[in-house]
Amino acid sequence: MTSSTPRARRIAEQIRHELADVLQREMKDPRVQGVSFTAVEVSPDLEHARVWFTTYVEDHTPALEGLRKAAGFLRTELARRMRMRTVPRLDFQHDTSVERGARLSRLIETAVAEDRMRHPCRQDDET
């Protein structure tokens, strides 16, 4: 599923924006507190939308359950706000790219620190 056309990309971005607004203003479920939507992809026929999210807590399972339980409400809100003929069905997926990026950053920082410890003269030569 890819948002390949300009229209599909615009709709995907609007869905992401509207979902974030609904989550912040209208949802009271504590499981979805701290959820951030990172991306949305809509199918070419606009029937399905895959919504990626991250959380500020390590265990994303409660947030995923809360989002899946609220999918009907969220879809209804999207219909009201976006005025589309058909609103895509929402499929929520946890986005691991943020965690992967943080892990890679830590690995790079560790490698740089180890390199400086092994070759302290290099740091003096570069400055």
Structural domain range at position 107: 96-127
Q: Say if residue 90 is in the same domain as residue 107.
A: no
In a domain, 81, yes or no: yes
Q: Tens digit of pLDDT for each residue in 99-113? A: 777 778 888 888 888
Q: Say if residue 84 is in the same domain as residue 114.
A: no
Whole-model pTM? 0.76
- Of 33, 48, 38, nearest to 16 by C-alpha is 38
In a domain, 76, yes or no: yes
pLDDT band for position 76 (cuts 50, 70, 90): very high
At 9, list the tokens: 């990309």
pLDDT band for position 20 (cuts 50, 70, 90): very high
Judged by DSSP in three states, 52 sits in: strand
Q: Say if residue 49 is in the same domain as residue 109.
A: no
Can you give the CATH number for the domain in which 18 is found? 3.30.300.20
